[in-house]
């Protein structure tokens, strides 16, 4: 369906996304941005436009406090779970809750939230989710240390995924955490 890319640069988190909405062989270029801010967070989603709408407009994002990784794995994820359940989007299979994948940036750190609500933070300082993630990760790795600006690296990653995946398409949208 998409690719969402993110990286950390000088204590700011930068996210970017394509505009594809795909279902099998159908592709629609959507106006809905897949990256946005919500309180102190920047978020970028894949999986479902409905999930993204809930994260953007319905999630009452809790203010980060204490040890950030622990906060993200507990308080933040619990707020997301509640939001998705209340919005009628969360799924339950064999008593296990499932959602979609998205990136979250806050306080100069980038987290990936996976379909089982697992929280991960890459030591590389960049991440990608969606069907074009492997192409984007390759581009982010290849551009590390070249002195490129964050937006240039994100664009290179999006273009690589766009070139190699039939479910990734321009135009691209960008956002970043506040100073």
Please report, for the domain that includes residue 118, its CATH number.
3.60.20.10
Provide the residue-wise pLDDT of the chain in tens; the chain has 179 residues.
Answer: 799 999 999 999 999 999 999 887 888 999 999 999 999 999 999 999 999 999 999 999 999 999 999 999 999 999 999 999 999 998 777 778 889 999 999 999 999 999 999 999 999 999 999 999 999 999 999 999 999 999 999 999 999 999 999 999 999 999 999 97
* Residue pair 89/51 in contact by the 8 Å Cβ criterion: yes
What domain range includes position 42?
A: 3-176
How many angstroms separate the Cα of 154 from the Cα of each of 18, 27, 63, 64, 160? 11, 22, 27, 26, 10
* Count of domains forming the chain: 1
**Model confidence, pTM:** 0.95
Give the integer Cα–Cα distance in Å for 23 and 4: 17
């Amino acid at each position: 369906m998409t690719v969402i890319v993110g990286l950390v640069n000088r204590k700011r988190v930068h996210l970017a996304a394509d505009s594809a909405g795909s279902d099998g062989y159908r592709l629609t270029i959507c106006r809905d941005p897949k990256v946005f801010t919500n309180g102190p967070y920047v978020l970028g989603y894949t999986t479902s436009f409905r999930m993204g709408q809930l994260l953007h407009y319905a999630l009452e994002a809790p203010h980060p406090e204490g040890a950030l990784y622990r906060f993200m794995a507990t308080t933040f994820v619990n707020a997301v779970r509640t939001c998705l359940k209340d919005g009628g989007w969360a799924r339950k299979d064999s008593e296990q809750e499932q959602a979609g994948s998205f990136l979250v940036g806050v306080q100069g750190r980038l987290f990936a939230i996976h379909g089982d609500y697992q929280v991960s933070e890459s030591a590389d300082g960049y991440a990608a989710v969606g069907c074009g993630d492997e192409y984007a990760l390759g581009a982010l790795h290849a551009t590390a240390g070249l002195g490129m600006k964050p937006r240039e690296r994100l664009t290179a990653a999006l273009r690589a995924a766009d070139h190699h995946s039939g479910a990734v398409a321009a135009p691209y949208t960008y956002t970043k955490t506040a100073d």
